[in-house]
């Protein structure tokens, strides 16, 4: 089905805003001192960082030390050495834009220069605005190339796309599809378990799309009653129902060219499914209580954690609507199927929380190991909540096993126990050895019990346990007990 989506060049979906503010480096090469300094002065006033060279030797030695973005080089008619320089610099620095200056009438030289890799040429004598136009053309294409490269890099190497974190192959695949579909206005259906990032993906599609400045309007089909969804989506006329004091546009209309995000689409009633289908087919809606129709141009992105195809089989979801929404579908992987992203996601959330709290948080090795083994039924949302909880509970900068939610702690403790019980000789079969508990476990319990019984009086607890205060503190740390009174 994806084949229906046109191939899109990276350039086209560059974010519109946030043009990079960079000063490009320009090297002017000319044996004529007057030309050199005139060019340098003009370029400097245009904001370039300018250097000059009077001959090819000087140019070569300058270029050995660093790269320049634009090379403005004089080409005396018939000079093969200058042509060599152009070819050479393109070979060494393919990113550098070369502009050749040629004497009037030497069209051949200009053609030769272009053949050797020059991007543009200027015929001498030239006016100031000719020079600035040529420089601007070169820098614009350089910046676009750079931005394109950066975006491609971001897609390929970085932690994710836009606000999305993850560089597992599963997520890379999502980014690839996402960056393609963003440019089109086809409907997209996002599937995935709860907390896998369906809404984030919907927002990313919108943000990278051609109508990013238009509104993104979410509608939760799962939590609104049907009549409310209907008036939200399609709008209503004055007096359509009690309380409709004024006419109101539906979201499908007010989105204009933007995106309407139909969240939990699987919960939509059959009656509303029929109405939605009709408006998508006819590209117009009939507001509640109206006799007229209003045109719509919203893009539809829908999401669900239900198995829509199965619902279609059972007659709970309209097949025709399913096909219309499912032009492109994105199936988001569960977190347990992309465990390598867990440390990245955790670091991302901890960084945000650290910023908000003004305190730095990191995970202990054991906590992270336990997180890597956990199945995360609530996916990224569960991970995010766990990090928030852990930071709120933790007394220090390091988040220990004891700061994680209970199920994770249990997993961690099981792992500890397994490590202690690890029995290479296989002696503990069904002989009751499973009841044997590691000393460390019993010790942890004894410590917790003592402190709790004494309502948190650690000094007395230590005395009654027969250990020193320092030993008790060391053991509390060792067993990841951050708050003995709250620990389970």
Ligand X SMILES: Nc1ncnc2c1ncn2[C@@H]1O[C@H](COP(=O)(O)OP(=O)(O)OP(=O)(O)O)[C@@H](O)[C@H]1O
Those residues whose C-beta lies under 8 Å from the C-beta of residue 180, and which sit 6 or more positions away, are: 2, 5, 7, 8
In the complex, minimum distance from the CB of residue 372 to ligand X, in angstroms, rounded to a whole number: 17
Q: Give whichever of 56 and 155 is closer to ligand X, judged by the CB atom.
A: 155
Question: Closest by alpha carbon to 270, among 315, 328, 224, 233?
Answer: 315
Q: Which of residues 184-213 bind Mg ion (CB under 5 A)?
A: 199
Q: Applying CB under 5 A, does 483 fall inside the site for Mg ion?
A: no
- Residue 253 near residue 296 (C-beta atoms within 8 A): yes
Site for Mg ion in 214-233 (CB under 5 A): none
> Closest separation between CB of residue 345 and ligand X, Å?
6
What are the angstrom distances between the C-alpha of 245 and each of 152, 241, 285? 51, 9, 20
User: Does 267 help bind Mg ion (rule: CB under 5 A)?
Assistant: no
Smallest distance, Å, CB 303 to ligand X? 6
Considering the complex, state which of residue 121 and residue 349 has its C-beta at the smaller distance from ligand X: 349
Distance CA 428, CA 431 (A): 6
Distances 334 to 339, 379, 383 between C-alpha atoms, Å = 9, 6, 12
State how far the Cα of 222 lies from the Cα of 264, in Å rounded to an integer.
5
Q: Which does 164 bind (CB under 5 to 8 A by kind): ligand X, Mg ion, none?
A: ligand X
Neighbours of 400 (CB within 10 A): 24
Nearest distance from C-beta of residue 346 to ligand X, angstroms: 11
- Residue 197 partner contact from ligand X, Mg ion, none using kind-dependent CB cut-offs of 5 to 8 Å: ligand X
Give the residue closest to ligand X by C-beta. Answer: 197
Question: CB-wise, 283 or 331, nearer to ligand X?
Answer: 331
Crossing angle for the helix pair 469-478 and 458-465, nearest 10 degrees? 100
Q: Quick one: CA dihedral 318, 319, 321, 327, positive or negative?
A: positive
Q: Does 51 bind Mg ion (CB under 5 A)?
A: no
Binding site for ligand X (CB under 6 A): 160, 164-166, 192, 194-200, 305, 380-381, 384
Query: In this structure, what DSSP letter does residue 62 have?
Result: H
Q: Residue 166's binding partner, choosing from ligand X, Mg ion, none, with beta-carbon cut-off 5 to 8 A by kind?
A: ligand X
What is the C-alpha to C-alpha distance for residues 235 and 418, in angstroms, rounded to an integer? 60
By a kind-dependent CB cut-off of 5 to 8 A, residue 194 interacts, out of Mg ion, ligand X, none, with: ligand X
**Of 72 and 178, which CB lies nearer to ligand X in the complex structure?**
178
CB of 164 to ligand X, least distance (A): 4
Q: Which is nearer to ligand X, 391 or 447 (CB)?
A: 391
In the bound state with ligand X, the residue whose beta carbon lies nearer, of 261 and 317, is: 261
Considering only CA atoms, which of 345, 433, 341 is closest in space to residue 383?
345
Phi, psi dihedrals of residue 250, rounded to the nearest 5°: -80, 165
CB nearer ligand X, residue 27 or residue 171: 171
The answer to whether the beta carbons of residues 361 and 391 sit under 8 Å apart is yes
Closest approach of ligand X to the CB of residue 188, in Å: 14
| Least spacing, CB of residue 219 vs ligand X, in Å | 13
- Give me the least distance between CB of 5 and ligand X, in Å please: 22
Binding site for Mg ion (CB under 5 A): 199
């Amino acid at each position: 089905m994806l084949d229906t989506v046109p191939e899109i060049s990276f350039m086209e979906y560059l974010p519109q805003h946030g043009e990079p503010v960079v000063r490009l480096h320009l090297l002017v090469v000319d044996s004529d001192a007057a030309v050199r300094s005139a060019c340098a002065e003009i370029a400097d006033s245009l904001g370039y960082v300018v250097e000059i060279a009077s001959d090819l030797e000087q140019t070569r030695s300058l270029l050995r030390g660093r790269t320049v973005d634009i090379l403005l080089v004089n080409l005396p008619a018939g000079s093969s050495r200058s042509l060599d320089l152009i070819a050479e610099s393109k070979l060494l620095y393919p990113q550098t834009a070369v502009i050749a200056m040629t004497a009037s009438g030497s069209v051949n030289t200009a053609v030769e220069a272009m053949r050797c890799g020059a991007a543009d040429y200027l015929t001498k004598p030239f006016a100031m605005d000719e020079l600035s136009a040529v420089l601007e053309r070169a820098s614009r294409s350089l910046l676009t190339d750079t931005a394109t490269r950066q975006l491609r890099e971001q897609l390929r190497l970085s932690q994710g796309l836009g606000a999305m974190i993850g560089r597992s192959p599963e997520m890379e695949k999502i980014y690839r599809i996402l960056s393609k579909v963003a440019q089109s206005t086809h409907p997209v259906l996002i599937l995935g378990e709860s907390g896998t990032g369906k809404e984030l993906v919907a927002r990313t599609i919108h943000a990278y799309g051609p109508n990013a400045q238009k509104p993104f309007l979410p509608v939760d089909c799962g939590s609104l009653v049907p009549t409310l969804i209907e008036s939200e989506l399609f709008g209503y006329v004055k007096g359509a129902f009690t309380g409709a004091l004024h006419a109101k546009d539906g979201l499908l209309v007010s989105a204009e060219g933007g995106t309407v995000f139909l969240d939990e689409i699987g919960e939509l009633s059959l009656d509303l499914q029929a109405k939605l289908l009709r408006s998508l087919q006819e590209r117009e809606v009939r507001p509640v209580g109206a006799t007229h129709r209003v045109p719509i141009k919203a893009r539809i992105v829908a999401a669900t954690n239900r198995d829509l195809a199965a619902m279609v089989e059972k007659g709970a979801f309209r097949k025709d609507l399913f096909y219309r929404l499912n032009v492109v579908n994105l199936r988001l992987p569960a977190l347990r199927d992309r465990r390598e992203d867990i440390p990245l996601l955790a670091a991302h959330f901890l960084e945000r929380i650290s910023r908000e709290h003004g305190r730095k948080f990191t995970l202990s090795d054991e906590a992270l190991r336990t997180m890597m083994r956990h199945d995360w039924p609530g996916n990224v949302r569960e991970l995010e909540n766990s990090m928030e909880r852990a930071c709120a509970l933790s007394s220090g900068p390091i988040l220990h096993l004891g700061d994680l939610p209970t199920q994770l702690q249990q997993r961690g403790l099981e792992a500890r126990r397994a490590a202690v019980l690890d029995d290479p000789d296989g002696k503990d079969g069904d002989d009751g050895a499973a009841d044997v508990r590691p000393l460390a476990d019993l010790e942890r319990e004894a410590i917790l019990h003592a402190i709790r019984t004494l309502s948190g009086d650690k000094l007395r607890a230590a005395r009654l346990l027969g250990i020193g205060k320092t030993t008790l503190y060391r053991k509390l740390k060792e067993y990841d007990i951050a708050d003995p009174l709250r620990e389970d």
